[in-house]
Structure formats: C-alpha cells, structure tokens
Chains A and B, each alone.
Chain A
Amino acid sequence: MSLLRENWRIALLLVFVVGSGIALFLPGAPPGAPSGQSGMTNLQYGIQLDGGTRLQAPPVGITAEGVDVDRNQETELARNLSQAFGLQPIDIRVAAGSNTVEVFSKNVSQSELQSALEERGHDPETVRDGVTEATRNDMVEVIRNRIRESALGSGTVSTIRTAGGQTFISVSAPDRDADELQDLIDERGVVRILAGYEAENGTYVTTPVLQGDDITDVGNVRSTGSSFGVDVTVADGAADRLEDEMVEYGFDQRTFCNYNNEDPQNSSGRCMLTELNGEIVFSARVRQGLADLFASGEFSENPVFTSSTNSREQARELEISLKTGSLATTLDFDQRRTQTLDPALAERFRFNSLVVGIIAVLAVSGMVYLRYKQPRVALPMIVTAMSEVLILLGFVALVQYPLNLSHIAGFIAVIGTGVDDLIIIADEILQQGKVATGRVFQNRFRKAFWVIGAAAATTIIAMSPLTFLGLGDLSGFAIVTIVGVLVGVLVTRPAYGDILRYLVLSEEE
C-alpha cells in the first residue's frame, strides 16, 4: 500500500494514459460514438480534416417579445397579421406561452410589426431580429431529419451564437458538396393538397383540403406510369373532414381535370392539386375508384391515396418534405458562412498536420536532449510530454469533439508549454546538492510547482475569452489548450517529478 501511496502521482498518470487509450482505440468506448465506424481511432474529424460542407446561416424573421396575448387569441391574431402584411398564415407564429409573435419574412420591418401589434392592442415590450429558441429548435430538428432522410445520411445540426448576439443554424455534412446541402435546406418544404373546382358563380376556386400535418404516414417514391408519386395516409380526424369536403365540392362524381398553371382562372373540371413550397407541382382528376370511395364514405376507413408529381426529383422532395415536416422559416443565405472541402484535400491536411505534429515533437525532443545530454532526464521528459498529448486525444475522443486544424495547432502548443514546465521541474530538482531526503525533494518540487501553477493560470486566463466569445473554431483551440494545461499541471507534470526523483535517487545510491 505504501508503494502506491508514495507513487500516487505516477499511478494517476498511468490511469489517465490507460483511460485515454481506451477512449481512443476501443471501438464504441465513448458514449454516443457512431458504431461500426471505420478508421483506427474513435476520433471525430471536422470539415477541415474530413472534407464535406458546413453551412451556417441565420433564420429569416423578426420577433416581438412581451406581447400581451391570450391562448384563445393566437389564431385570430396570426390571421389578422398575415392579412395586414400580405403574408401566408404560416409566416406568422403567435405563442401565448412565451408571449411572442414571430414574422418569418424579410419584407416586414421591426417598426411595422411594432405598430401592427399596437394597433391591435397587443403592445410588445421589444421587437428584435431573429426568431425564438423554440422555432430554432424546431428547425434544427427538421433539418436533422431531412439530412437523415436524404440519400447520404450523416451530418450534424446545431445552433451557434455569433459575436453580435445573432443566432445561426449550423449544418455540417461530411459527404456532400455545398450546392447539394444548400438545395436540401433552402426550401421550407410546405406541402398542401388543394381542391380546384368551378364555383357556382363561374370562377375557378382552389381550396386547401390537406396540410402536411394532416398526413401521418408517407411511403417511398414509386413510379405510377407516366408520373411519380408517394402513397400517403391521412390522419383519422382529417380523413372524415376531407371526405366531407370532397363530396361538397363534387369530387364524388365522374370528373375530368384541365388545370392551367399559368392562368388558373382558365382551368376547368375538378382537380386535385399538389402544392410544394407555394407552387402547384401536379394536377390530376380524382380516379373513379377514389371518387366512389368518397361517395360511399369508405375512404375514411382506409384513408390512403397517392400524391403524384411529374418528376422523380419532385416526388423525392415531396416525400422528404412530408416525412420531415416543414421549416418554420427559411435560412437567410445572403448572410451565410460556408466552408467546403474536398475529402481528398482534407485527408491530405490530416496526414500533413500529423507530420507537422510529429516533427514538432522531434524538434522539441532534440532540443531537450541537447540541453540535458542525459537520456535518463531527457527521455522521461519526452515520454511525459507525449503522454500529455495522448491524454488530450483521449479526452477529445471521449467527448466526440470534431477535430479541426486549430486543435492540432493547440496540441502542438500544449507540447510546447508541457515541455517548458518539465524543464522547470528538472532544473529545480537537479540543481546542486543531493535530493537524498524526501523533504528536500518535496521542497524543491513545491518551488517548481509555484512557477508552473502561476504560468498555467495565466495561460488559462488568456485562453478563457475564446471559450465563450464564439469566434468560430477558436473555442475548440482554447478548450484543447485549457484542458491540456490542466491535465499537465494536475497529472503529468507532477508525475514527471516523481519519475525524476527515482532516477536521481538511484544515481546517488
């Protein structure tokens, strides 16, 4: 036991090294690590080292906060405002729970919203740029689902706060290029089914009969002769309503459809219209079989029909939009930040930065050796510094933090500070006079530690602004450096002191 008590610093270092080795190399060891991943380690790589695309953009919209509105006024106010601004009802979100009113349009200014609310007796406390957290979280969820539903499904979606207090939505996808990713998320994905028919006064009317929310189950794209379609199941409550409305508009009878997309008023017959993002993408008559089901009321017992489009791409977009729901608002691509990198180039960066790191370690080792000329002092120093890097890599693998170039630079910086501190310890302990007694050793070690602790504290203080300022990738660099310094001061550097003590004592004997 006393052996352990005397050598607890070395023991602690070993525990950390073994733990890091497990986190780094044992497949599936870090919680939340993707299983069945190829590659030698559990490390996650960011865009710069793995390739792919990252796109960051703020959601379009303004928010009035502290709006005095009751739950039963929500729908009414939303409808009123959408009419006043000439927008669709889905462009306004009124939430009594958080007392907020959001307008998802670039065409409404803050002062317009302010006065519109004041006119209606709902005085807001403030009106600001951006949307609410609830809306952002909805969007993150929808985008995440879209990436999963689309062909090559992996990617991460999160919100980030920028310098000016704006909140951006950040989307990273390792295996696609910028245009592909942008196409996937640039539309809100609003799907509506409309019924088009001639009213009694002779005008051609289109009325929405189904919204995206009314559809519970969506099949995969299939070819339906000349067109493509997806089978959709209508939710129970909506199916009865749909049936009643279809009968009311006369869709239970033999019918034809002649829809004129350029000039809807020139249309004739009864048409089922599929609308995607505000555009009619398909029109067709109701097949006789379905019309009979509407007439007999059997449709609601098995409410399935095929929603069609002209092309496979549109059908795919329809499918993804129906499956993942619509985005509350669009992203403002004029203010986007993007980064995209070819995987081959990223791989080269990964390899080259590793080479840079190794050569930096060799340079440091060479300097240390030239300085001490005793392998027994220099070698443990180099090994200790390397173990520091291993522990850091273990930490990064454990928290599944995506590595970028700035982190590799951070590692090299940590090797630098680490070796600095080891030199302080070595010089202090190896100075004139024997270390024979534990008390002398402890005394010298404490003196060395005062300097190391002070130096570490300054590095941590200098780096800390980067962790919360939101300056891009630099928070990663700062976190790696701070963790590295902490691991160094608390674990590896004290252990080096103990190692040196053994070496010196055995020499003196």
Chain B
Amino acid sequence: MVEFEVPEIDYDRYSNRQLAVVPLAVLAVALAVLIGAYVLTGSPVALGIDFTGGSELTVQTSMSASEVRSSFDTQPVSVQAISSESNQYVVTFDADSGDVSDFRDQAQSSGMTVLGSGTTPASFGSQSQELALIGLAIAFGGMSLLAFALFRTFVPSIAIIISAFSDIVIPLAVLSLLQVKISLGTIAALLMLIGYSVDSDILLNNHILRRRGEFYESTYAAMQTGVSMTVTSMSAMAVMAVMATFFGIDLMSQIGFVLFLGLAADLMNTYMLNLSLLRWYKFEGVAR
C-alpha cells in the first residue's frame, strides 16, 4: 500500500548557506530566463490573444492541421488540435490579420464547421497587460504588508516575501521556456499562487516564532502539516492540468499547470530558503 508520510530531514547536516544557495540559484536562473526572453522578444513570456488582441476559431473538420492552416487567406498564428476530440482544432490569428467574421466565412466556405469564435481588439489587449501588472503589484504589495503586520519583525517577514516572489517567478520562467502563451487565466493562477504559497510559510514562521519548543521539533511539526497541505493541493492541480489539457479546456489547464509548478517551487522555497533565514534569525540574528 502506498504511504504518504512526510520525511524528517536532518537539517543539522546543512549550513544555512548550503540550504539557501539552491533556491536562490534556481531563482537566479528563472530571472535570467525571463530577462533573456525580454531582451530577445520584448516580453518575458509569450503573450496570448487576451493580451495582444487577435481572433480565435474552434473548428470541426476532417482536414489535417496543415490543410486547416492553408485554408485561410491570412496565415494563422497557430493551429492546435484538441486531444480528446478528433477532428477539432483551435485556430489563432493575429490582431492585425483581419476580422473574425471574415475568418468564420473562410472556414465555412472551406467546409469546416465553426464551433466557436472569439476576438479581442489590440487596444483591449494592451490595457489588459497593463492591468494585469497592476493587479499583480497590488496583490504582491498587499501580501507583503500583511506579512509585516503578522510577524512585525524584518527577517521572518522578508523570508515570506522572497519565497512568494520566487514562487511566482519560477512558474513564469518555465512558461517562458516552454513558449506557452499566457492568458488571463495565468494571471488568475499567479494571484492565487500568492495566496496559496504563503500558507506554508506562515505556518512555518508561526510554529518557529510563536510557539514554545525546540527549533527542529517545531520545524518538523510545521513541515508535517505544511508538506501534506502543499502535496494535497498539488495533486488537485495536477489532476486539473492533465484532465483539462486532455479535454482541451485551456483556461483550466493553465491555472492547474501554473499552480502545480508554483506549489512545487514553494516546497523548495519554504523548506530551504525560508527555513535557513529563520534558523539564522533564531540562532544568530536575535543574539546580535
């Protein structure tokens, strides 16, 4: 029978520096990926039509993907098959390549059945970009203030903020590497991640700072609860990501994927980065 037990890690064997260097290195790589993508393409991540504007058709046809591609007067940006249904494709067009009504007509006159369509004007897309950034900034700022309000000391609060930051940056870097086009759903997932990922950090800080008891004992208690929490959430998100991808429900698969990655990053950040900062604070920082 499968057992799910949180392993007890022998933290004594590692110095704070050793513990912190791994998550910090991963964060640095993630930031480098995003900056590199920004320099190369002008955007840290590939933007979907929610942010660039453009049109999208869902069509049913017996044609192949390349036949679908060549059926339009203007070249589509992408033609993507839906895995759970044979003969269905999602076709995406740039904002400046024409009007969605024309694409519908072209698809129909080539014998495809148009099951769905959508269009977002470019102006709307660039506003959404701006708003999404504002939203992320407000959410992150609010979370940071709350972290300070809860613990009222610098190191433990900043530990939460750094790991939350890293939890957002790492999934974004993965999306950037995989060339996944982000949508409004991704933004929702990132905001959700801010809320989700600090749970285990708050739990750890709370056990170590606000409870009596020896450091490693508190750490292990917090880990038992925290890892169970995160792994449970990850299982829900993995299921959502895999199933929704299979069914071709992009929005849900993206939310699931981003949250899964973010929570995985959070396991590392909480129990390596946050923990090493707290241990330093508890044994050396306070003594100063």
Q: Which residues of A contact B (CB under 8 A)?
A: 162-164, 178-179, 182, 334-342, 344-345, 348-349, 352-353, 355-356, 359-364, 366-368, 370-371, 405-406, 408-409, 412-413, 415-417, 419-420, 423-424, 427-428, 431, 447, 450-451, 454-455, 457-466, 469-474, 477-478, 481
CB distance from B88 to the nearest CB of A (A): 8
A348 to B238, CA, bound (A): 21
- Are the CB atoms of A406 and B251 closer together than 8 Å? yes
Contacts of A182 in B (CB 8 A): 101
**B22 at the A interface (CB under 8 A):** no
- Are the CB atoms of B188 and A466 closer together than 8 Å? yes
Stretch with Cβ within 8 A of A (4 or more), from B28-36, B115-123, B272-280: B115-123
16 more contacts with CB within 8 A, not counting A179-B104, A462-B191, A465-B136, are: A164-B123, A178-B100, A179-B101, A337-B120, A339-B118, A341-B58, A348-B247, A352-B84, A353-B252, A368-B232, A406-B188, A424-B229, A454-B202, A458-B198, A470-B131, A477-B188
CB distance from A454 to the nearest CB of B (A): 5
A217 to B50, CA, bound (A): 45
Given the known interface contacts A178-B104, A178-B117, the answer about A458 and B143 at a Cβ–Cβ threshold of 8 Å is yes
Contact flags (1/0) for B85-117 with A, using CB distance below 8 Å?
100000000000000110010000000001111
> Please, could you name 18 A-B residue pairs with CB atoms under 8 Å apart, sorted by A?
A163-B130, A340-B117, A342-B115, A352-B244, A353-B249, A363-B236, A367-B231, A371-B5, A409-B252, A413-B255, A417-B195, A417-B199, A423-B228, A427-B221, A455-B199, A458-B146, A459-B196, A466-B135
- Are the CB atoms of B139 and A349 closer together than 8 Å? no
A427 to B226, CA, bound (A): 10
Contacts of A469 in B (CB 8 A): 131, 134-135
Contacts of A409 in B (CB 8 A): 185, 188, 240, 251-252, 255-256
- Are the CB atoms of A163 and B127 closer together than 8 Å? yes
Contacts of B233 in A (CB 8 A): 364, 416-417, 419-420
A423 to B84, CA, bound (A): 35
A409 to B254, CA, bound (A): 10
Contacts of A423 in B (CB 8 A): 225, 228-229, 232
- Are the CB atoms of A338 and B188 closer together than 8 Å? no
Interface of B is mostly: helix
**B264 at the A interface (CB under 8 A):** no
- Are the CB atoms of B124 and A463 closer together than 8 Å? no
A367 to B101, CA, bound (A): 48
- Are the CB atoms of B135 and A465 closer together than 8 Å? yes
**B259 at the A interface (CB under 8 A):** yes
Given the known interface contacts A459-B196, A470-B131, the answer about A465 and B115 at a Cβ–Cβ threshold of 8 Å is no
Contacts of A179 in B (CB 8 A): 101, 104
Neighbour of A163 across the interface among B4, B85, B131, B211, CB < 8 A: B131
Total contacting residues, chain B, CB less than 8 A: 77
Contacts of A339 in B (CB 8 A): 116-118
- Are the CB atoms of A471 and B120 closer together than 8 Å? no
The 9 closest A-B pairs by CB, nearest first: A459-B195, A163-B127, A370-B4, A461-B142, A465-B135, A462-B194, A341-B116, A352-B247, A342-B115
CB distance from B238 to the nearest CB of A (A): 8
Neighbour of A465 across the interface among B3, B85, B116, B138, CB < 8 A: B138
Contacts of B195 in A (CB 8 A): 417, 455, 458-463, 481
User: Which B-chain residue is minimally distant from A165 (CB atoms)?
Assistant: B127
Contacts of B2 in A (CB 8 A): 370
Taking each of A164, A424, A461, A474, which has the highest tally of chain B beta carbons within 10 Å of its own beta carbon? Answer: A461
A355 to B233, CA, bound (A): 18
Instruction: Mark out the residues of chain B between 64 and 93 whose CB falls within 8 Å of any chain A CB in the assembled complex.
Output: 84-85
Contacts of B16 in A (CB 8 A): none
**B158 at the A interface (CB under 8 A):** no
**B61 at the A interface (CB under 8 A):** no
Contacts of A340 in B (CB 8 A): 116-118
Taking each of A406, A409, A431, which has the highest tally of chain B beta carbons within 10 Å of its own beta carbon? Answer: A409
Instruction: Mark out the residues of chain B between 188 and 221 whose CB falls within 8 Å of any chain A CB in the assembled complex.
Output: 188, 191-192, 194-196, 198-199, 202-203, 206, 210-211, 221
CB distance from A372 to the nearest CB of B (A): 9
Contacts of A471 in B (CB 8 A): 128, 131-132, 135, 184, 187
CB distance from B154 to the nearest CB of A (A): 18
Contacts of A477 in B (CB 8 A): 188
Contact flags (1/0) for B236-280 with A, using CB distance below 8 Å?
111110011001010110011001000000000000000000000
**B43 at the A interface (CB under 8 A):** no
A203 to B44, CA, bound (A): 68
Contacts of A459 in B (CB 8 A): 192, 195-196
Neighbour of A367 across the interface among B85, B206, B232, CB < 8 A: B232
User: Which B-chain residue is minimally distant from A57 (CB atoms)?
Assistant: B121
A463 to B198, CA, bound (A): 14
CB distance from A54 to the nearest CB of B (A): 9
Neighbour of A349 across the interface among B3, B211, B236, B249, CB < 8 A: B249
**B224 at the A interface (CB under 8 A):** yes
Contacts of A478 in B (CB 8 A): 188, 191
Contacts of A424 in B (CB 8 A): 203, 225, 229
A450 to B131, CA, bound (A): 33
- Are the CB atoms of B58 and A335 closer together than 8 Å? no
User: Which B-chain residue is minimally distant from A473 (CB atoms)?
Assistant: B184
- Are the CB atoms of A356 and B244 closer together than 8 Å? yes
Taking each of A336, A366, A371, A415, which has the highest tally of chain B beta carbons within 10 Å of its own beta carbon? Answer: A371
Instruction: Mark out the residues of chain B between 117 and 169 whose CB falls within 8 Å of any chain A CB in the assembled complex.
Output: 117-121, 123-124, 127-128, 130-132, 134-136, 138-140, 142-143, 146-147, 150
User: Which B-chain residue is minimally distant from A463 (CB atoms)?
Assistant: B191
A367 to B5, CA, bound (A): 10
A424 to B221, CA, bound (A): 11
CB distance from A335 to the nearest CB of B (A): 5
Taking each of A356, A427, A463, which has the highest tally of chain B beta carbons within 10 Å of its own beta carbon? Answer: A356
A471 to B121, CA, bound (A): 14
Contacts of B230 in A (CB 8 A): 420
- Are the CB atoms of A462 and B192 closer together than 8 Å? yes
CB distance from A461 to the nearest CB of B (A): 4
